[in-house]
Amino acid sequence: MPEARGQDTVIEPAEDPQIWSEKGKGATLEQREKWANKTEFMLSMAGEIIGLGNVWRFPYLCYKNGGGVFFIPYFVFLIFCGIPVFFLETALGQYTSEGGITAWRKICPMFEGIGIASQVIVIYLNIYYIVVLAWAVFYLFSCFQTTLPWISCVNEWNTESCHTYNKSLLHSGLHTADADWSFLYNETYNYSSSVNLSAPYKVVSPEEEFWLHRVQRISSDDTLGPPHYDLTLCLLLVWIICYFCIWKGVKTTGKVVYFTATFPYVMLLILFFRGVTLPGAGTGISYYLYPDISKLSNPDVWRDAGTQVFFSYAVCQGVLTALGSYNKYNNNCYKDCIALCALNSGTSIFAGFAVFSILGYMAHELSLPMEDIVKSGPGLAFIAYPKALSLLPGPHFWSVLFFLMVLFLGLDSQFVCVESLATALTDVFPGILRKPKRREILVLLIAVVCFLLGLPLVTRGGLHLFKLIDMYGPSGTNLLLIACFETLVIGWVYGADRFFDNIEDMIGYPPCSVLKYCWLFITPFICGATLLYDLISSPSLSASADFVPSWGSAVAVLLTLTPMICIPIFVLVAIKKCLCRPSNSCQGPGLIVPSADLHQRSPNKPRLTLCEHVIIKRQKLSHTEGEKSVEEKALKEDTTDM
């Protein structure tokens, strides 16, 4: 009986029928791996959820959306959406011991498309996220030149618009983008017809020119051009590092994260203590946290908070399910998730102090207003922050430190995403991929394909494509939609009470009951409302102030619709399979009945009750011939260990 199990007994779902059939044919299949200890799991999860968004997006959103006031919508989304979905996905993986696709197949076969959609998001991330690391490697190598190449205007890539900031220029007001420099042409002789006297002379910083004309070599037309050889080599180097971090599975991943997940904290602490001791740091931090209550009435602030929570917590990507699937059955994933959420949000807030203290020093040294300095995304990491660090004594040291931090912050997020995709594919095709040496080949194939697909991002037009993927690929629209389906399926189809029983069976006690009502009502309502507002209020791509290629709209639509259509397509496929059965019964395992492999602690209890009223009755599980119960498997494991 389940109640008679000892505390240390590890219970796992029965093996996939395909594995049994392969064993019957004499094939040698490898057992599914487990984390060596809890620390490896925690560091892998921390490495995935704590990434570049914590450093270059969250602090900017605080500054942009009312300073400390932004914490209100942020924590509302975190408590009622982020934590419930984060825990749901992690617990789902641990309960089923399956990756992002097969976990949903076993819980509710009709909604297997949720897992497919999340893997499409992971594919987007595997292709474009690593390009940021290639940029970081390029900057890192550039730090070892005698003079930092982005601090002067004497390089071959600089234009006549390039000017370093100096006191005289700043006090004259000519450093602004709309300053009129036409007085430079105030001469008595005739000008060439190529000179446009009516056009103002635009000032560009050397950091921005290095980013645009040396790193990106950006174009303003529709052509991508061939890949830049130096960026291609940097991208290849990062992929090689990523491959050898995970090629042997969680056994190597669990060891690598001891360094990659902790080293960025060391560097962030060093930058923090250096930043807060600089003149002007207080001004920068005040801009970061100064509250503006009026911002709370702006719906865009709430949308920004929601998308930041969903992206920074890596929900709706199948990654949490994959990592949780390598836990032992009785691991207390509830406490783990609470601790990880606290660590993630704490890191985001702490990173803001490190970032804005340095930017405040830059504003102080250059007599610039903070509005002219603060940037988000790549603009912060590759333009504003390098400029600020170049003003410090020993700029090479601080620049190396910063770009190493950027590299390691993104590296573990990258290889965990690759691990998630490899796990999902292995669990879908265990008879083919769960064999000796197949794992290494699969990861190599993923790395090679994603590297080739990422080459357009290191071309002259690559930055335009990067921005499109970043905005429309793993975007708030897709993540919010997947979150709605996840919570609705668990709450109303599989049954929130049944899932609570599964969790209690794993951790030994029921989690907070608020989670149940979040899955049933609060989370899908907030996510649905935010999704609807995002769809209505988002401006069209053609209205963007940035250059948009002619093919941009088509790419944006393709990126958005691909994951979204996976869910309804697989629902229709499941219904068609059901209707084609001789019995014409649409309540069988092809639709909403979970796999009999999954252990049910209380199979006779209703799936959902509200206010002591039964909303969804119990569900009779189907058992197929040859399947082994969880108790039989556990007994076999205990006997083997004796």
CB environment 306-336: b (16+ within 10 A), e (fewer): bbbbbbbbbbbbbbbbbbbbbbbbbbebbeb
CA distance 300 to 289: 18
* 413 assigned to a ligand binding site: yes
CB environment 399-437: b (16+ within 10 A), e (fewer): bbbbbbbbbbbbbbbbbbbbbbbbbbbbbbebbebbbee
* 118 assigned to a ligand binding site: no
* 409 assigned to a ligand binding site: yes
CA distance 33 to 379: 41
Q: How many CB atoms lie within 10 A of CB 297?
A: 8
List, in sequence order, the alpha helices (H) in 429-495: 430-433, 438-454, 462-472, 476-488
β-sheet bridge partners, residue 162: 204
Q: Which two tokens stand for residue 339?
A: 């601790």
Angle between helices 552-579 and 113-142 in degrees, nearest 10? 150
* 51 assigned to a ligand binding site: no
CA distance 133 to 382: 11
Neighbour-count burial of 283, counting CB atoms closer than 10 A to its CB (0-12 exposed, 13-18 middle, 19+ buried): middle
| Residue with the two structure tokens 């220029």 | 169
* 312 assigned to a ligand binding site: yes
* 595 assigned to a ligand binding site: no
β-sheet bridge partners, residue 218: none
Specify the 3-state DSSP secondary structure of 162: strand
Residues contacting residue 524 through CB under 8 Å, at least 6 positions apart: 483, 484, 487, 488, 491
* 412 assigned to a ligand binding site: yes
Q: Which amino acid is at 446?
A: I
Q: Which residues are annotated as a binding site for Na(+)?
A: 47, 54, 312, 344, 409, 412-413
Q: Which residues are annotated as a binding site?
A: 47, 54, 312, 344, 409, 412-413
